[in-house]
Structure 1
């Protein structure tokens, strides 16, 4: 997922976010996905108040953040659900799954082609 950046025409606003949970992320299958483990282990969930509503987001971190801790974030005033922290979680599950399916199909076709040539 691409990291969102503020538009110079509409500067993003700063506010305080509060950690609502911090869980250790075992990286379900990341070690199996081409043997590339991730160095970010904690999944941080947070909330912030903007334009009369509460919004939530999550990001990964190498360090543990205590529940209730506050930190600064910036958000898009035109779309307050967009913020500079929640966009840094890479969305790699779907591409890796698709690569696995495509690779399986290709290997099956190669196997069938080799077996057919043996007659």
Structure 2
């Protein structure tokens, strides 16, 4: 997982997060639409308490975590919804999808030009 950079002026704070749900994620359709699926198969939902509020988030993991178990995370004190396990920290597969769409358009245009020249 890509780690977020932490500002030296404002170090991220540590807290306990509690697992609220752990679901097995098949990801079958993702391989066709967005490229090669990741090997991380469990979608872990969790909550944590920071600055007088409860925040929730989720991340993918190769291992199962029992509901109710706790683990340590760090969060940004200036923006407590940002944490070290957030799925927002993961790179998206959108560029691969966009490359596929653009590639298919280019191939279609080349095919049309070739077919038009065959008259």
Tell me if TM exceeds 0.5: yes
Question: Which deviates the most, 3-12 or 58-67?
Answer: 3-12
Question: Which deviates the most, 76-85 or 28-37?
Answer: 28-37
Moved over 6 A (4+): none
User: Where do residues 100-111 of structure 1 align in structure 2 (5 Å cutoff)?
Assistant: 100-111=100-111
Distance 1:17 1:34 in 2: 30
**Count of aligned residue pairs for this structure pair:** 118
* Partner residue, 1:90: 91
Q: CA deviation at 1:103?
A: 1.6
Query: Any gaps of 5 or more consecutive residues in structure 2?
Result: none
Query: Any gaps of 5 or more consecutive residues in structure 1?
Result: none
The secondary structure found in structure 1 opposite 2:65 is: coil
Q: CA deviation at 1:117?
A: 1.5
Q: RMSD across aligned C-alpha pairs, in angstroms?
A: 2.0
Question: Which deviates the most, 105-114 or 26-35?
Answer: 26-35
Q: CA deviation at 1:95?
A: 2.3
Question: Which deviates the most, 24-33 or 42-51?
Answer: 24-33
Q: Residues 4-49 of structure 1: CA distance to partner in whole angstroms, max 9, x if unpaired? A: 1221111111000011111111114333358633211111111100
User: Where do residues 1-119 of structure 1 align in structure 2 (5 Å cutoff)?
Assistant: 3-32=3-32, 36-86=36-86, 87-92=88-93, 94-119=94-119
Distance 2:115 2:60 in 1: 46
Q: CA deviation at 1:88?
A: 4.1
